[in-house]
A and B are shown apart, each in its own frame.
Chain A
Amino acid sequence: MNNGCFIYNDTFVHLLNLIYYLIQNHLKPENIKNTLYSPNLLDHVIVLKIEEDSEIIAKIITSMGSFTFRSIYYVFLSSADNKELIIYYLLLNGVKYKEKVLYHRNLKCVEKTINISRYVLHEVHKYKGFLRFKELENHILYAEIEPENDILSMVSHHFQRRLKNEYWIIKDVKRKILSIYDKKKYFFVLEENFSFETTKLSQKEIEIEELWKTFYKTIGILERKNDRCRMNFMPKKYWKYMLEMEEFL
């Protein structure tokens, strides 16, 4: 049964369960993929019946520490190729090195875990700043984002605390998922299951957007103009959803 491509049911917890099963039974996966994976001819696909048990989270945290656990979770949220295999190798080494596993930076899986999780956190941080809400007719705040990684829940967590007394909706355009906040909690809905009007803006919206664009243009110092520096901190991929950048696109 070695050398197979193992399939998990798309959830993080199930992936962890599967990996632990593989480690305990000394099975070496060639690959681990979710159910969306379309195998090629040479793949030997294996679907095991494995329970989805969230006890596994506590188990990993006790043995490897919460920092390691969080890093693994960020890798899972990433869009990195073979992220499941990276998590497998990290946990495999974690069995040996326990909470010190991330210090072993000479291991490939450690290097990748650190870099990928940093990359995911970096994107979350950028969106905390660059995301822009529009106020719709019914006072709901609405924003669209197009993140590379699956960070809608982390972004929502931030805005739940910041805009706790507002109704807001954030849409991940690429994944077609909406995060809807009802002043108590946020929940996720597939775009296809939820239709609403996003084009009717509140009355004063245009005026406020104008104010912001005016401020943006005014605050830059002409004598210090530095496009390269701006581009470095605010890469073009974010501009599409930032109203002050529209005219530069």
Chain B
Amino acid sequence: MNLKEKLKILADSAKYDASCSSSGSTRKTRGGLGNVAFSGICHSFASDGRCISLLKILMTNCCIFDCKYCLNRKSNNIKRAVFTPEEVCQITMNFYRRNYIEGLFLSSGIIKSPDYTMELLIKTISLLRKKYHFGGYIHAKAIPGASEKLLKDLGLLVDRLSANVELPTLNGLKLLAPNKSENHVSKIMQYVNINQSKKYVPAGQSTQMIIGATKESDLEIMGKSANLYNDYKLKRVFYSAYISVNKDSLLPVLESPPLKRENRLYQADWLLRFYHFKVNDLLDVKNPNFNILIDPKADWALLHLNEFPKEISKCSYYDLLKIPGIGVKSAKRILSSRRFFKISFDDLKKMGVVLKRAKYFITCNGKYFMNHDYFQKEFIEKNLVLEEKTSLNKVHEQLRFFNE
């Protein structure tokens, strides 16, 4: 099999991993080729609109496991390939020199045993770092079940080391990934979290959950995320809309991946991390799923309309963050500017506030943007739903690398 065919197979089987970012590393390099950019760089965008930053490949798509949702599972009759460490290095170096990529994302199916597979990853990456003096970004996937010693070795070579939770509950995992134990994944995350430093996994860890392969509610998913951020200080949780690659009686039949739901989860994830929201603010047992028609923050605001409208010239930073259409940056801009002049609706626009959404929830120097009689739930809701539908520049939150 020639290199091109191999690359095709092993990129194809890696593409379902949602993580793309190359940011957050502060590793210093001396000599050699390449460095890391703290804010991350996208080198291209694929036909699905996702950022291409890293050469995302598997070492091999052979696997001794049989996870139901996975293209590479043992029971699938597909073409299999294995890269040699040298081949991975060659492609990475050649792509990096030409500025096609920011670095390497290396994962693998499990051959022989978790330890054997992990050793293969270590061998490849240390060749890249030590023989080729590669200084760019590397994100490696830890193989669940591999020994701590190997976790340690791999973590010293890479910028990011992570393991995928895949399914938000134990039941889901038992059902669809019978060979995997949740324990293994949390052990990895625990180990990385305790040992993380400037030398060990400097860019921290991330994880991914598949959305819509099992029956979990958004409440369960967000609850899991909140715990992960809390317990292991994860940098990111990625959500990956389930794509029916396999036919299996245990799997749902989806006509198309639940992208809208995925988008809502990303928005809510953002609210947890940067807007001081708690899962319970957004969802509860009575309403365990997000509103598909309206984004989580606006949905929250409509349910708490009695706290609005908020006065721009007075309200606190935290209150500003609760206003739909105002982000972290624009909230800070408002704070730093309002000491110097009276902010008008027009000025807000200049500060990056999405006035089309914010105007329903604010007053500027005591003035509402229109007759105050229109300050009613039904009216605002109708307009916000319409606004989202017509907005041309809707992009996936996942791709907002600029704000990371």
Contacts and interface: CB of A to CB of B under 8 A. Distances in A.
Contact of B16 (A129, A221, A228, A234): A221
Interface string B4-16: 1001100110011
B243 A221 contact: yes
Given A162-B35, A208-B94, A221 B340 contact: no
Contacts of A162: 34-35
Contacts of B392: 228
A161 B52 CA distance: 22
Nearest to A104: B340
Residue of A162, A216, A242 ringed by the most chain B CB atoms within 10 A:
A162
Given A106-B341, A215-B11, A219-B52, A234 B98 contact: no
Size bin of chain B's contact surface: 35 or more
Given A105-B347, A210-B4, A232-B393, A135 B97 contact: yes
Given A219-B52, A220-B48, A233-B42, A133 B4 contact: no
Interface string B237-272: 000010100000000000011010000000000000
Contacts of B50: 220-221, 224
Contacts of B15: 218-221
A229 interface: yes
B182 to A, nearest CB: 27
Contacts of B347: 105-106
A244 interface: yes
Interface of A: 100, 103-106, 111, 125, 128-135, 141, 143, 159, 161-163, 165-166, 204, 208, 210-212, 214-230, 232-234, 242, 244-245
Given A224-B48, A233-B42, A242-B44, A105 B12 contact: no
A211 to B, nearest CB: 6
Contact of A141 (B7, B98, B241): B98
B38 to A, nearest CB: 12
Given A162-B35, A215-B7, A100 B340 contact: yes
A135 B97 CA distance: 9
B399 interface: yes
Interface SS majority for chain A = helix
A218 B47 contact: no
Contacts of A111: 350
B97 A141 contact: yes
A129 to B, nearest CB: 4
B47 A225 contact: yes
Contacts of A166: 33, 97
B232 interface: no
B98 A233 contact: no
A15 to B, nearest CB: 26
Interface in B23-71: 31-35, 37, 41-53, 55-56
A105 B8 contact: no
Contacts of A135: 97-98
Interface string B370-404: 00000000000000000000001101100100100
B183 interface: no
A13 to B, nearest CB: 29
B351 A105 contact: yes
B336 interface: yes
Contacts of A103: 336-337, 339-340
Given A219-B15, A221-B16, A212 B95 contact: yes
A133 B47 contact: no
Contact of B97 (A131, A133, A224): A133
Given A105-B350, A166-B97, A215-B11, A129 B341 contact: no
A106 B97 CA distance: 45
B48 A221 contact: yes
Interface string B182-225: 00000000000000000000000000000000000000000000
Contacts of B241: 224
Contacts of A234: 44-45
A229 B44 contact: no
A211 B91 contact: yes
Interface string B325-365: 00000000100110111011001001100000000000000
Q: Pick the most buried of A215, A226, A233: most chain B CB atoms within 10 A of its CB.
A: A215
A207 to B, nearest CB: 8
B46 A216 contact: yes
Contacts of A128: 37, 41
Contacts of A163: 33-34, 97
Interface in B76-115: 91, 94-95, 97-100, 102
Given A125-B41, A163-B97, A211-B4, A232 B49 contact: yes
Contact of B49 (A134, A212, A230): A230
